[in-house]
Amino acid sequence: MRHTLPIAPQFYVTAPQPCPYLPGRMERKLFTALQGEAAERLNDALSKQGFRRSQNVLYRPSCADCSACMSARIRVEDFTPSRSQRRVARRNGYLERRATSPWATEEQYALFRAYLDSRHADGGMADMDLFEFAAMVEETPIRSRLVEYADPAAPEEDTLRGLRAVCLTDILDDGVSMVYSFFEPELTRDSLGTYVVLDHIALARELGLPYVYLGYWVPGSDKMGYKAKFSALEVYRAGAWEALRDPESYSAETHPLSVDPIAEQVARITLPDASR
């Protein structure tokens, strides 16, 4: 008699390293490999539990004494743009969306480099070369797309061929997940980062999907503050999704009892049924 067991991936914890969001803190991640025939189901299941994808790895913050990082997503049906977000949508309405297979190009890398050099020159990706960029984009075991935003009226001498913004996007069973986005840094006044989020909300509506996953929102981090400006935002906290309250009500303070032991965290992870 055959018994169907749930998929049982192995989970690991990274060594502590400097936190990219809050100064003076150390970051640690719980992660597992994403591979094989069950990769899409595992990605769908763990994304609903606060995990994010990076190439063929799923990870979630699991710092020793800090639980500030919370996965964030927008409820598409309930989202209403603010007045400033409507202005951003109108300002960038000339851009043409192109959804392509996850295949890196030289134009994408040139835009990526300009974005990093301007916004994240001291970040963990600062030294990423073309081959590493290609790996980030192309090494995906699930349904992913590169969503490009281009100016169709760009002159022929434009070295980026009109490319203004790019987002590596995963298609989940309940939403679209914005894995990584970057844009032309010289167009600061156009708020391209906000526009890409707004267009992904439109994209999710077109696909009939209820959520747009934004990555992590971190109270106290200026880098992540923009996410709290979107209405109908939910955060994954203490094992459940909740509507974002007043952002000021969330604490970024450290406490040695704020994070459960790794064994308890892993034991509470719900895995997809292998029979499906």
Domains and CATH numbers, the chain: 11-69+252-267 (no CATH), 72-249 (3.40.630.30)
Helix (H) or strand (E) holding 36: none
Contact yes or no for 73/216 (Cβ under 8 A): no
Cβ atoms of 168 and 183 closer than 8 Å: no
Q: 49-97: per-residue pLDDT in tens?
A: 999 999 999 999 999 889 999 999 999 999 999 999 999 999 999 999 9
* pLDDT for residue 260 is more than 90: no
Strand ranges (E), the chain: 11-13, 17-18, 26-27, 29-33, 52-54, 57-61, 70-75, 96-100, 144-150, 163-171, 175-183, 211-217, 233-237, 240-243
- C-alpha–C-alpha distance, residues 45 and 60, integer Å: 13
- This prediction has a pTM of 0.93
| Contact of 111 with 184, CB cutoff 8 Å | yes
In this predicted structure, the answer to whether residue 4 has a pLDDT above a threshold of 50 is no
Summarize pLDDT for 202-250 with one digit per residue, the tens: 999 999 999 999 999 999 888 888 999 999 999 999 899 999 999 999 8
Residue 179 · residue 137 · CB < 8 Å: no
CA distance 233 to 245: 9
Cα-based angle 181, 27, 36 (whole degrees, multiple of 5): 60
pLDDT at residue 50, rounded to an integer: 96
Task: For residue 108, give Cα distances in angstroms to 115, 160, 237, 245.
Answer: 11, 8, 35, 37
Q: What is the mean pLDDT of the chain?
A: 91
